[in-house]
Amino acid sequence: MSLSHAELWLNMLEQVVEKGEITAPRGMITRELMFYQGSVRDPMTFPLVAIGRDFKDVIGILEGLSLVGEFSVPELFTDKVKKFADFMDGGIMWGSYGSRTHGQIGDVISLLEKDPDSRQAIMTFYDAKRDLNREKKDIPCTVSAQFLLREGILHLGISMRSNDLWLGTPYDLMQFSILQATVAQALGVRVGEYHHRVGSLHLYDRDIEKAQNVAWDSSLAMTFPLWGEDDIAAIQSRARLLALGKLEPKTDFESWAKSVLEE
């Protein structure tokens, strides 16, 4: 088990480069590990920092805020990173997690408050009725998120059908850590382990050489709790206001996120 997200990511890169099998979905050559599983002991270690890879932290922040706030404003993404327009159909991001999971966070929290040992605290992202064999530019890569509350510690397991290790994984680790810490804060419990499971963990051929030259740097760590309020409805309101640039920060995380969004 890795201590930090950066260590997990670098371990993923090494394994895919050394052990990945060649596949070519849609004719694009990739190196792939099937049914990968990795874990992090301290999921508050975000954003990722690595030598040889410049991360756009604004992506992970916007994804995390949209997920926690359960909303979708595509222009927030395209204004910061023009490439996001390539994943839109008629101005809509069909796979937006914020709209996909609307209402589920509150239900997860309510369930765990009633039954802390529940095995049913699951959020779903992928919907076969909308996604299977459909021609869309943005099919959710994440299938589900399961929360397990054990001895006052909240653990999270993410299941993904596909993960682009170079472009997507670092921001997925960030946004799901924000989700995990948010649910933990609303429940008044500690943040536990993070588990990342992927059907196809892959690197595109164009990124192999770059991946071979990445090295570990220092691990950052966010301070818990993330938010200036503990009630989930208030947290979600703060996430939306923060994304829109209308929040007066109360915590280190809120201040940091605001500074990144303003860059």
The pLDDT of residue 130: 87
Residue indicated by tokens 């874990």: 39
Centre a 10 Å sphere on the Cβ of residue 155 and count the other Cβ atoms it contains: 18
Answer for the pair 175, 137: CB distance below 8 angstroms, yes or no.
no
Q: What is the pLDDT of residues 164-211, one digit of tens each?
A: 999 999 999 999 999 999 999 999 999 999 999 999 999 999 999 999
For the chain, the structural domain boundaries read 5-261
The pLDDT of residue 101: 93
DSSP 175-232: HHHHHHHHHHHHHT-EEEEEEEEEEEEEEEGGGHHHHHT-EE-PPP-PPSP-SS--SH
Q: How confident is the model at residue 86 (pLDDT cuts 50, 70, 90)?
A: confident
Element (DSSP H or E) covering residue 235: helix 232-243
Architecture category of domain 5-261 in CATH: 2-Layer Sandwich (3.30)
Q: How confident is the model at residue 138 (pLDDT cuts 50, 70, 90)?
A: confident
With 0.85 as the threshold, say if the pTM is over it: yes
Q: How confident is the model at residue 110 (pLDDT cuts 50, 70, 90)?
A: very high
Q: What is the pLDDT of residues 7-22, one digit of tens each?
A: 999 999 999 999 999 9
Instruction: Flag the least confident range among 54-63, 69-78, 87-96, 147-156.
Output: 87-96
The pLDDT of residue 14: 96
Residue 249, preceding bond cis, omega within 30 degrees?
no
Q: In the predicted model, is pLDDT for residue 134 greater than 90?
A: no
